[in-house]
Amino acid sequence: MMKKITKIFSAMIFLSVIVSGQVQFTPSLYYTYGNYSNQNYSNSFAGYVTLAFKNSDFITGAFEQLQINNDEWTYSQTMLTAGYTKTIFPFYFKFNYSHVMGKFDFLPFPFSYKDYLNIYNANLIYNYYLFYLGTSFTYQDLNGFKPVVVKQFKFNIDWIASSKFTFSVSPLYTTVTDGRSLTSVYANLKYTPVKMLTITLGAMAGKRAYYFDENLLTIFNQDETQKKLYGAKVELNLTKQFILPVVFQYSEFETYNIKYFTAGIKYKL
């Protein structure tokens, strides 16, 4: 499976170079630093490639390399994602698949283990005037130190209030085979005061675990229950093609919290 995904991702990049004159080609790169309250820290590098065909078909490939460091252990993780979106107005159909490979190394002694996570995600979105109404289902199968199956049911409402304001709310229900049944809600406000600047504020209340974001193609795959999240993103549109995003995010779990700092670059060809 790993070899197949790698070949698909490489083929998508190669194809994008060949057909960049026929379709919209959008590559982006991100670096994230995580500061943990339990003295851990993380570094993550991620790359994304999106191909838009006549604004009706979208293909996305993503790659992320993460490492978490502690005085006594290290955890390295690789995440590969392929996504496809089909537009049949006023409906949008979105499908994502991710494969996550992790390795834990205990430094004082020769002990290590590996885990593998497969993520299957399907979305249906309906556009009604200024509203986008969506539903999403995510199935996760984790094999490793603690095998679990995670199911997530999500609803989403996006309201385009004006050319400057967009408001979104997303209730989520999560079940984990270790017995957890969790509910949460996430809301964000996007504000574009001028064409070159976009500010997004977001917050989550309730409880969730192993949350997969089908839009950002990221996952909180910590086993602990996530209890709180809030953050802000600033996007500077230097030109119509060149975008610089900067993100701060605070995430709180049962026994620790994490502050994430992200900087990226996005370019539309």
* Per-residue confidence in pLDDT tens, the chain, 269 aa: 445 445 555 555 555 555 555 678 889 999 999 999 998 999 999 999 999 988 789 999 999 999 999 888 999 999 999 999 999 999 999 999 999 999 999 887 788 889 999 999 999 999 999 999 999 999 999 998 889 999 999 999 999 999 999 999 999 999 999 999 999 999 999 999 998 999 999 999 999 999 999 999 999 989 999 999 999 999 999 888 899 999 999 999 999 999 999 999 998 87
Backbone φ and ψ for 174, nearest 5 degrees, come out as: -125, 135
Amino acid at 38: N
What domains are there in the chain, each with its CATH number? Answer: 2-267 (2.40.160.40)
pLDDT at 64: 96
Whole-number pLDDT of residue 1: 47
The DSSP-derived string for 86-148 is: EEETTEEEEEEEEEEEEEEEETTTTEEEEEEEEEEEEEEEEEETTEEEEEEEEEEEEESSS-E
State the Cα–Cα distance between residues 99 and 247, nearest whole angstrom. Answer: 25
Q: What are phi and psi for residue 149, nearest 5 degrees?
A: -120, 130
Is residue 166 a contact partner of residue 198, using CB atoms and an 8 Å limit?
A: no
Alpha-carbon span 251 to 230, nearest angstrom: 7
C-alpha torsion angle, residues 119, 212, 123, 101 (rounded to 10): -20
Q: Determine how many CB atoms are found less than 10 A away from the CB of residue 88.
A: 8
pTM of the model: 0.89
Q: Which tokens belong to 259?
A: 């502050």
Pairing of strands 181-194, 165-176: antiparallel
